[in-house]
Structure 1
């Protein structure tokens, strides 16, 4: 079961967070319906008119944002909140007394991600050993055990650096010829 907006953001942080975004009476910053949609499309590539992320609480911009916070992946919520703050700063609204609480809420979402992106690990040269190493790193990350993959990550990095040295004319790297 997913958590509600009220469960995700504790009351002591929620009130200052909402104050920072000007969500009283259903508003959100200075957005009109059109600029609200434009913001989410430009910042995140999300079309608010077809996405069900905004449908759960009502039609005001504040309620649509609360629905988005409940339904969107936490990494997307964190990015949206950072982008909203950036937009807020462009309005020259005062930040005194609201910034720390606002970013405490952003921190909730940035720290909540349970997904570890392993797409950066790629075979940079043909090698069965390298393929097995990458598969082992991904297995550890998918099992939510990144600490188990640290030694393998070190090996991957050393192989990658050696590959880059060779690629740029630096010759072979081995135990006699160190990377540094």
Structure 2
């Protein structure tokens, strides 16, 4: 889709495909708006905006269409359906990219490695205590950075989060949080 084309569709056949396969009128659905007018940009917008189950169905139908054209699929089918599985909620993959070393520390590096090992071993419950420790360290670091103070060793996680939230400018807090 790098060039803006999608499976050789014209604008009309792209619209026909979504209407016939998913009963979605691309000309009136806001799911296709926001990224541009090329078919690839409209499809990306659809993937970002549509419910996951609808995206999964569309991706499966697009694959069926692709196969009907007898295009080679060597090396891409497994990756493609791994993505479809994520939209279907059937993926075993747990994304651990949010865990990062926010300050230089060997123990922090070891903690992150242990969390990732637990997640990769499909044992998220085993990493729950480590996740709590990570959050304690993360919010203590944020308090040091934004408030200039230190957290007590016995401070609870919610207390650290509260101290950090109090450091944020009022404009950075969502209106829902401000009214609470």
Q: TM-score, normalised by structure 2?
A: 0.49
- Higher RCO, 1 or 2 (CA under 8 Å, sep at least 6)? 1
TM-score when normalising by structure 1: 0.49
